[in-house]
Amino acid sequence: MSYTGPDFDPPQPRRSPLRRPLTVAIAALVPGALLGWGVYAAVGGPDDDGGTDRASGAATSRAPSPRDSAPGAKSPTGTSSSAVDDKPSASPSAPAANSGPLKGKVVVIDPGHNTGNFQHTSEINRKVDIGTNHKECDTTGTATNAGWPEAKFTLDVAHRLRTLLEAQGATVKLTQDGDRPYGPCVDERARIGNEAKADAAISIHADGAGAGNRGFHVILPGSVHDGAADTRAIVAPSAELGQRIAGNFVRVTGSAPSNYIGDGTGLVTRTDLGGLNLSTVPKVFIECGNMRDSKDAALLTSGAWRQKAAQGMSEGIVSFLRG
Ligand SMILES: [Zn+2]
């Protein structure tokens, strides 16, 4: 990203101490189905416009338990909803005993960018056919103001997510594992998911927007049918996948949906991304936060937060795959 943010602001410590007592209080008062958003509103998520119906649906229909943001407070209605609830809730880092509910399911995780891309600009600037257009093979990605690259973030979260999904019995494939000098190109990233016949695919990113822009968003494929791109069959299942991921991501991380894109839903549909346009399997991108915002960066650079991020994604994927 070309944007250069203002001087780095010191991390703001208020969110953590504030969230837990508020969450506990809310847990006693708010029906479980509304808890995720209640917590979000109560902790002063940026620019909360109250969410839309779509957002509420995404956040609430699959995700009633407050367990992660309030470890000591069990939801009074925590047993009322879907597949995510029958997973153990003791700890985000202690997934289910390996009962293998995802046995036979294939998940492809695409860690966005590659730390080597900076040294291979001519290769990654090569144009590739994404059906609707031609775009760069890959991009360098962004970085925090302190210089921590997005590509390191994405690979770390991918590893955490892989561990969680494998514990559920899934077969997991990464599009890159720090094992190649650059890339892969976006068309190959899509092809890897297609050839694996993935039941679900997710491309992990963090954004590089202006300071003050905060929160996560999930990018869904729009309907395109042009050249090699034909997403018509995956639009609906990808939206379902994305909604489940968004809802669980809110619940587990306590992070708010983006305040700068998606109208508060945490969901954005795009038709300009090769990784989505060329996919023939259900696939979404997730932008986990804004690396150029100091408060988001404080989260993104925290291993504990990244574990929650992976847990939220995992529970969304599990929910999707179990139906
Ligand atoms: Zn990215």
pLDDT tens figures, 182-231: 999 999 999 999 999 999 999 999 999 999 999 999 999 999 999 999 99
Q: How far is the CA of 206 from the centre of ligand 1 (A)?
A: 5
70 CA to centre of ligand 1 in angstroms: 30
pLDDT of residue 139: 97
For residue 323, what pLDDT is reported? 85
| Ligand 1 center from residue 82 Cα (angstroms) | 31
Angle between helical axes of 32-42 and 235-253 (0-180°, round to 10): 60
Confidence of residue 98 (pLDDT cuts 50, 70, 90): low
287 catalytic? Reply is yes
Q: How confident is the model at residue 19 (pLDDT cuts 50, 70, 90)?
A: very low
Average pLDDT over residues 130-136: 96
- Length of the chain equals 323
HEC secondary structure over the chain = CCCCCCCCCCCCCCHHHHHHHHHHHHHHHCCHHHHHHHHHHHCCCCCCCCCCHHHHHHHHCCCCCCCCCCCCCCCCCCCCCCHHHHCCCCCCCCCCCCCCCCCCCEEEEEECCCHHHHHCHHHHHCEEECCCCEEECCCCCCECCCCCEHHHHHHHHHHHHHHHHHHCCCEEEECCCCCCCCCCCHHHHHHHHHHCCCCEEEEEEEECCCCCCCCEEEEEECCCEECCEECCCCHHHHHHHHHHHHHHHHHHHCCCECCCCCCCCCEEEECCCHHHHCCCCCEEEEEEEECCCHHHHHHHCCHHHHHHHHHHHHHHHHHHHHC
In the chain, % of residues over pLDDT 90:
69
Residue 256 pLDDT > 60: yes
Whether pLDDT at 14 is above 90: no
pLDDT on residue 250: 98
Q: Is the pLDDT of residue 94 over 70?
A: no
How close is the Cα of 97 to the center of ligand 1, in Å?
33
Cα(286) to centroid(ligand 1), Å: 9
What is the spatial distance between Cα 39 and Cα 42, in angstroms, rounded to a whole number? 5
At 50, phi and psi to the nearest 5? 90, -5
Of 202, 218, 203, 188, the residue nearest 278 (C-alpha): 188
238 or 30, higher pLDDT: 238
CA of 71 to the centre of ligand 1 (A): 31
Q: What is the structure's pLDDT at 297?
A: 98
- Assess whether pLDDT exceeds 80 at residue 92: no
How far does the centroid of ligand 1 lie from the alpha carbon of residue 28, in Å? 39
For the segment 207-217, what is each residue's pLDDT rounded down to a tens digit? 999 999 999 99
Q: Quick check: 29 pLDDT over 60?
A: no
Q: Choosing from 150, 188, 240, 287, which is the catalytic residue? A: 287
The rounded distance, in Å, linking the Cα atoms of 297 and 155 is 16
pLDDT on residue 26? 32
Are 23 and 70 within 8 A, CB to CB? yes
- Output the CA 111–ligand 1 centroid distance in Å: 9
* Count of CB atoms situated within 10 Å of the CB of 140: 22
Sorting pLDDT into bands at 50, 70 and 90, what band is 247? very high
Place of tokens 């996948």: 241
| Over residues 298-323, mean pLDDT | 97
Q: Is the pLDDT of residue 23 over 90?
A: no
The most confident of the ranges 1-15, 75-89, 252-266 is: 252-266
Q: What does the pLDDT look like over 110-121, one tens digit per residue?
A: 999 999 999 999
Nearest in space to 200 (alpha carbons), one of 171, 164, 229: 171
The side-by-side arrangement of strands in the sheet containing 200-207 is: 171-174, 106-111, 200-207, 283-290, 217-221, 267-270
User: Residues 272-278: what's their mean pLDDT?
Assistant: 97
Mean pLDDT over each residue of the chain, to the nearest integer: 78
Collect residues with CB below 5 Å from ion ligand 1. Answer: 112, 141, 205
Helical axes 32-42 vs 53-60, angle rounded to 10° = 120
Higher pLDDT, 264 or 38: 264
